Structure 1
Amino acid sequence: MSMSTLLAIMGLLLSAIPAATFLRNLPLFLFQPCKANHAGNVKVSVLIPARNEEESITECVESVLKSRNVEIEVVVLDDHSADATADRVAEIAASDSRVRCVNGKPLPENWNGKQYACYQLAAEAGFHWLLFLDADVRLSDTAVSNLVQRMQRTNVALLSSFPHQETGTILEKLLIPLMHYVLLGFLPFARMRMSKSPAYAAGCGQLFLTKKGDYKSAGTHEAIRSSRHDGLKLPRIYRKANLATDVIDGSDLARCRMYRSGGEVIRGLLKNATEGIASPVLIVPFSMLFIGANVVPIVALVLAIIAKSTLGIVVATAAVFVSLLPRVMAARSLKQPWIGVVLHSLSIVIFIAIQWIALAQQLIGRRTAWRGRVS
């Protein structure tokens, strides 16, 4: 058997792992908003940490204020912004009593800026339900009531939702959709929902819904005070407290453009990579699996064509198809860019390179700055 055929078989076997998991997970992840949308007499505090968000905070707050079938208050924490973030919120608050802007306290030692902002916001909340929301997220008018109903129906303590990810630059289109590839390709959703084990913790830091009592029982954001990765770490502390968590698709509930340039994408992925795949324990096996499942099939196909190996070409073609299947499904169901499907192997190479750079930075004691902070 030729080398190209052996590589093709290896690529096929490895690509089948995330592809099969993605196929099982996608129906469980997708969420259909309720037609009869009534969450009952529910009051929700929408809590928005904001640091230098002058360009996005107005649209974010105004989208929340359009929420139907729930009573809301909006509390924005101005985290020592150097721009007019606080002024924009004050303008809205002047005409809508549901909106408040509070000034953030100085950042204590060993705290991450966002975690401390959320911790302060929770203390300011006047209602029992807490919705932590990033300033670059825009909600639909039924998003809050739909999320509340989902929590009421499933009885989870922490619900996270992935907004539709808007992308502009080529790096955004290639790399941002990989969050779904990693989540749906490697986390067994059925087992996650049957278990409260911290090993199955997952979420999206852009949007979290919980109740004040459960939030306190889990330890609040103080329990993850030094972390940059609340999408992973907040669900984990809930599960450590024996509280159930869940994560769902929010494509029809919210939208978000996380980054606005290629440089922001790189820095954004670098800043919390070592708390995920780029940890010393995970980076080698994940690199081998990602490259084996998504790059090796392409290499095997090229080698098989050069060697004119019919068997190698057939197996490698199958491996390429299987490796692309998760991105095809995501492009169709989650409205992700099709260029990410075409250049999927390149996306993986760039993504893995970023993980190794992040690990190298950690080893030399360097941290990526974000919004003027390294914490």
Structure 2
Amino acid sequence: MTAANLVLLGRAAGAPAPGALVSVLIPARDEAANIGACLDAALASAGVPIEVLVMDDGSTDGTARIVEARAAADPRLRLLQAPPLPPGWTGKVHACARLAEAARGTHFLFIDADVRLAPDAAARMAGHAAANGLALVSGVPRQRIGSLGEGVTVPAINLMMLGYLPGAGRAFTNHPAMAAACGQLLMAERGAYEAVGGHAAFPRRLHDALALSRNLREAGHRTEVVDGSPLADCRMYSGFAEAWAGFAKNAREGMATPLGLPVWTVLLGAPHLLPWLLLPSPWAIAALILSFLTRAAITLRVREPLWTIPLHPVTVAVALAIQWTALIRSALGRPAGWKGRAYQPVDVP
């Protein structure tokens, strides 16, 4: 499956339709360390007209001041203040919904504040959507990994996408169950987005990109994941504790379900961890060679640091530990926390 997905994973290409306007939409909560560089990259976009909207979601640091200073010098940038979070909503989903309401564009490019767009990213994604009749185009940005803690957690994203999802989210896998998207870099065509209710259709969800992609497919629209490494880069977390908390936050809407996680434990543990217990069997050695070759191929394709490859068994073990911890915490009634907010998990079919 990895070999097939690496061949199938395409790059965004095409010219934006005449009259296209891309609204770059950035939800931000206490992002003073990131927002300046994020805005500089977004405002350097070329090849398609853009506007940039930042939703300051109750920040207590200097996020708003940084945005205001840049907005004073560039009329394409607007700062919005998020209204109080309504009951039954998660923070990012609420901010994205309000951003979409204020946007003027034909396409909505949702990015996180830690994402740095390439100059041609907006144009290539809008062009790819137009050329292929897509309602949604998404990709995993190139992950900048700066610590051991990130090295044993962040690579699991592309491992799961390219190693375990048939078709890796390409449009021909049109069933909603095969949908995929990355909330760090997601472009939606305005008409299709509004037709399915946008983010307001799933106010309690934490994994908003996946929910939007599935909703669009259920309504008959085409969605696609492309190679995001040429389009943007991102440093998600600054260390192990932050990475653990971030991945645990979304776990119950993905793998960490009572029926699904035992299956995932076998699918991940059997090929990547069990052979270590069976050494020095020749079969175990062969299995480990295949495991590391699979990981190396993914790492090279998505341009992640090569030093993370030898850490592969630890990455798999940590990924499973995060999922089991999230499931157990949920069973005990403990909410997931992120940036000062607590969220009860949502059971997803």
Structure 1 length-normalised TM? 0.88
Match of 2:300 in 1: 332
Match of 1:143 in 2: 121
Distance 1:176 1:87 in 2: 31
Distance 1:181 1:40 in 2: 37
Q: Do 2:153 and 2:244's aligned partners in 1 also have CA atoms closer than 8 Å?
A: no
* Deviation of the 1:256 alpha carbon: 0.4
Which structure is higher in helix share?
Answer: 1
Matched, 1:120 2:98: yes
- Could you give the per-residue CA deviations for residues 11-61 of structure 1, whole angstroms, max 9, x where no partner exists? xxxxxxxxxx01000122242667xx6664421111110100111111111
SS of aligned partner of 2:338: coil
| 1:318 alignment partner, one of 271, 274, 286 | 286
* Deviation of the 1:68 alpha carbon: 0.8
Matched, 1:73 2:51: yes
Distance 1:361 1:191, change over 3 A: closer
Distance 1:338 1:254 in 2: 19
* Deviation of the 1:279 alpha carbon: 1.1
Distance 2:213 2:42 in 1: 24
Matched, 1:28 2:8: yes
Match of 2:346 in 1: none
Please provide the CA RMSD for this pair.
1.6
Query: Aligned residue pairs: how many?
Result: 343
SS of aligned partner of 1:89: helix
- Could you give the per-residue CA deviations for residues 326-358 of structure 1, whole angstroms, max 9, x where no partner exists? 211022222222333212112111111111000
* Deviation of the 1:191 alpha carbon: 8.3
- Could you give the per-residue CA deviations for residues 65-118 of structure 1, whole angstroms, max 9, x where no partner exists? 111111111111100101111110000010100000011000000100000000
Q: Do 1:174 and 1:339's aligned partners in 2 also have CA atoms closer than 8 Å?
A: no
Distance 1:191 1:104, change over 3 A: closer
Q: Do 1:33 and 1:252's aligned partners in 2 also have CA atoms closer than 8 Å?
A: no
The amino acid that maps onto 2:6 is L
Distance 1:30 1:177, change over 3 A: farther
Matched, 1:285 2:260: no
> Using CA pairs below 8 Å that are at least 6 residues apart, which structure has the higher relative contact order?
1
* Deviation of the 1:239 alpha carbon: 1.2
Match of 1:188 in 2: 166
| 1:267 alignment partner, one of 227, 245, 261 | 245
The amino acid that maps onto 1:104 is A
Match of 1:371 in 2: 339
Matched, 1:222 2:190: no
| 1:1-375 aligned within 5 A | 21-31=1-11, 40-189=18-167, 193-301=171-279, 304=280, 312-313=281-282, 315-375=283-343
SS of aligned partner of 1:259: coil
Q: Do 2:150 and 2:243's aligned partners in 1 also have CA atoms closer than 8 Å?
A: yes
Higher deviation after alignment, 106-115 or 322-331? 322-331
Distance 2:78 2:17 in 1: 24
Distance 1:343 1:260 in 2: 18
Long gaps (5+) in structure 2 = 344-349
Distance 2:223 2:169 in 1: 12
Long gaps (5+) in structure 1 = 1-20, 305-311
The amino acid that maps onto 2:161 is L
The amino acid that maps onto 1:103 is Q
The amino acid that maps onto 2:8 is L
Q: Do 1:157 and 1:210's aligned partners in 2 also have CA atoms closer than 8 Å?
A: yes
Q: Do 1:40 and 1:69's aligned partners in 2 also have CA atoms closer than 8 Å?
A: no
Distance 2:240 2:93 in 1: 25
- Could you give the per-residue CA deviations for residues 208-228 of structure 1, whole angstroms, max 9, x where no partner exists? 111211001122101121011
Distance 1:372 1:191 in 2: 33
The amino acid that maps onto 2:289 is F
Distance 1:174 1:153 in 2: 37
SS of aligned partner of 1:47: strand
* Deviation of the 1:297 alpha carbon: 1.6
The amino acid that maps onto 1:297 is P
* Deviation of the 1:267 alpha carbon: 0.2
Identity percentage of aligned residues: 38
SS of aligned partner of 2:228: strand
Distance 1:208 1:347 in 2: 26
Distance 1:219 1:54, change over 3 A: same
